[in-house]
Each structure stands twice: as structure tokens, then as C-alpha cells.
């Protein structure tokens, strides 16, 4: 600690408490034994977790959300990484303009994107389908991947790739053997964040979901509209633990990628 006085530490503690307190509330509610949301609960049990395991619509939504997130992540990387490579390394005219263009969706309110997608997808019969929802989420994740990876590629020292070229590696081989391995930590982080962005996405999904197909956040919104029992708290606990697992996994993977030498000494 350098110069942060006790007052500042105390202030930081209060802020943390404020941020974390809703999670504590959810944690306690998830183990409630009551029929309704009552805080603090009058007793504790696992009954809402058991109820959750038998709730068809929510489990289906969870499965759909996971499928969408996997597809969105894979497609965003498949399209976004080559695009970022071209933008960062291609050096063609208009690259700057294209970078701004790809950033634009990130600045647009998701409400507007959702409405526009609904209008565009309805005649194409893409609403309330896995491909439609995945495409919708990619309006968020793809610009994000392109943006992050363009920065990551641009920050890479050019000489290392030039060295590979002088040693006989064709441009394709340079990308495979040098550029991508060096970008591994960025790629892993991008994949994880894409997954979480898609999994968590609510606004666009609300526009594009229907009775046939709803993502987990949409199904959760619908559930709390109709009822007020601690089931949702139990589900939230599951999601929090799942997110933590992903974060720890990414930390580990990025750490491993770094250990393979991407960090400059």
C-alpha cells in the first residue's frame, strides 16, 4: 500500500460491500426454505435447487443460451480474427475508416439494434430461431472481437514476424507459426468474453425471442413477471458459480499462454 490512508481503505471497503451485498442477498435467498421471497429467509434448504432441476422451460432456455453462446463465440472468432489481422497488418487504404465502422455497433443502443433486427428478421423467418438469435448476438460480439484483436495484433512487434519471413515462412505460415501463437492470450480472453456477452445478452434477445425459442435471460424475465419465489435466486447462484469457473479457467489459460513466452521480458 502506498499512501492510501485508512480513510481511503475504508471508503473502498464500503464500495465493495455495496457492490457485493446484492450477491449476498441472492446467496441467502437461493437456500431459502420459504414459498415466497422473504428476506432474510425464515429457514434454509435446497428445495429451490431441486425445483430448478425439474423446471423444463428454464433448463431448455439454459441449453439454448449455451448453444447460442458457443456458436456466437466460434463464428465471431472465425470472422473477427482474420478481419482484425487484415485491419492491423494489411495496411490498405481505408483501414482506419473500416475500424471506425466496425466500432459503430458498440456505440449504438442495443434497443435500436434489437428493433432493427426484429424488423429485418421477421420476413426472413429468423426470429425465435437459434441462427437468428446467434446473428443478433454477433452484432455485439463481432465488433468487440475485431476491436480487441486489432489492438492486440497492432501492438505486436513487427520484427518478430519479419524475422519469420526472412527465415522462409510465407505470409500464411507467419500467421500460423508466429502471429496467432503470440496472440493466444488475447484470443482466449476474447473467446471467454464473447461467450459471456452472448450468454448474458438480454435486450436484443427480448426482441428476437418467441414462444418457440427463448434464451435464458429472456426466460428469467418472463418467470419473475409471473411469480415471486426464490427459484430465480437459486438459478442466479448457478450462473454466478458458472461465470466464476469461466473466469478462473481463462486466468489459468492466459497464464499458461503467457508462460509459453508471450510476455516480453
Partner 1 sequence: MAYLELSGLTKRYRDSVAVDGLSLSVERGESVALLGPSGCGKTTTLRMLAGLVEPNEGVIALDGAEITRTAAHRRNMGYVFQSYALFPHLDVARNIGFGLEERGVARAEREQRVEDALQLVRLQGLGHRRPRELSGGQQQRVALARALVIRPSVLLLDESLSNLDAKLRDAMRHEIREIQRSLAITTLFVTHDQVEALTMCDRIAVMNRGRIAQIGSATDIYERPATRFVATFVGRANMLPAERGADGRLTLWGEALPAAAPSGGEVDVFVRPQRLKLAPAGEPAGADMARVSGHVLNSVFVGDHIEVIVAGPGGQRLTVEIQSGDAPPPDGAEVAVMWRAQDTLVFPREAA
Site residues for partner 1 per CB under 8 A: 157, 159-160, 162-171, 173, 177-178, 181-182, 260-265
Closer by beta carbon to partner 1, 47 or else 177: 177
Asked if 258 and 181 count as a contact pair (C-beta separation under 8 A), the reply is no
Torsional sign, CA 102, 106, 109, 114? positive
Closer by beta carbon to partner 1, 22 or else 157: 157
Closer by beta carbon to partner 1, 171 or else 255: 171
CA dihedral in degrees (56, 62, 63, 68; nearest 10)? 140
- Per the omega criterion (within 30 degrees of 0), is the bond before 50 cis? no
CB of 166 to partner 1, least distance (A): 4
φ/ψ (deg, to 5) at 263: -75, 130
CB of 182 to partner 1, least distance (A): 6
Closer by beta carbon to partner 1, 13 or else 157: 157
Closer by beta carbon to partner 1, 23 or else 163: 163
CB of 257 to partner 1, least distance (A): 9
Asked if 189 and 250 count as a contact pair (C-beta separation under 8 A), the reply is yes
CB of 252 to partner 1, least distance (A): 18
Closer by beta carbon to partner 1, 77 or else 182: 182
CB of 137 to partner 1, least distance (A): 32
Q: Secondary structure of the chain: what % helix, strand, coil (to 5)?
A: 80, 0, 20
| End-to-end Cα separation, the chain, in angstroms | 25
CB of 12 to partner 1, least distance (A): 35
User: Which residue carries 518478430 as its cell?
Assistant: 160
The residues, any chain, with a CB within 8 Å of residue 233's CB and separated by 6 or more, are 26, 29, 30, 32, 37, 48
Amino acid at each position: 500500500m502506498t499512501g492510501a490512508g485508512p480513510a481511503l481503505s475504508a471508503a473502498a471497503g464500503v464500495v465493495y460491500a455495496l457492490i457485493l451485498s446484492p450477491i449476498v442477498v441472492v446467496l441467502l435467498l437461493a437456500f431459502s426454505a420459504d414459498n415466497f421471497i422473504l428476506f432474510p429467509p425464515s429457514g434454509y434448504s435446497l428445495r429451490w435447487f431441486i425445483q430448478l432441476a425439474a423446471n423444463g422451460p428454464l433448463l431448455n432456455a439454459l441449453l439454448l443460451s449455451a448453444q447460442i453462446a458457443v456458436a456466437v463465440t466460434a463464428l465471431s472468432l472465425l470472422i473477427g480474427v482474420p478481419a482484425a489481422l487484415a485491419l492491423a497488418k494489411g495496411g490498405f487504404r481505408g483501414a482506419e475508416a473500416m475500424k471506425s465502422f466496425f466500432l459503430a455497433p458498440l456505440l449504438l443502443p442495443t434497443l435500436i439494434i434489437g428493433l432493427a433486427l426484429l424488423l429485418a428478421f421477421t420476413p426472413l423467418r429468423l426470429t425465435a430461431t437459434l441462427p437468428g438469435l446467434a446473428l443478433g448476438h454477433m452484432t455485439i460480439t463481432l465488433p468487440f472481437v475485431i476491436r480487441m484483436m486489432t489492438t492486440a495484433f497492432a501492438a505486436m512487434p513487427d520484427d518478430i514476424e519479419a524475422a519469420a519471413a526472412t527465415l522462409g515462412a510465407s505470409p500464411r505460415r507467419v500467421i500460423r507459426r508466429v502471429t496467432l501463437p503470440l496472440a493466444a492470450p488475447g484470443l482466449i480472453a476474447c473467446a471467454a468474453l464473447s461467450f459471456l456477452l452472448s450468454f448474458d445478452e438480454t435486450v436484443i434477445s427480448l426482441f428476437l425471442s418467441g414462444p418457440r425459442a427463448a434464451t435464458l435471460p429472456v426466460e428469467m424475465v418472463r418467470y419473475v413477471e409471473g411469480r415471486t419465489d426464490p427459484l430465480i435466486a437459486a438459478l442466479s447462484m448457478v450462473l454466478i458459480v458458472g461465470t466464476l469457473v469461466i473466469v478462473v479457467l481463462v486466468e489459468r489459460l492466459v497464464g499458461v499462454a503467457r508462460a509459453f513466452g508471450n510476455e516480453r521480458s
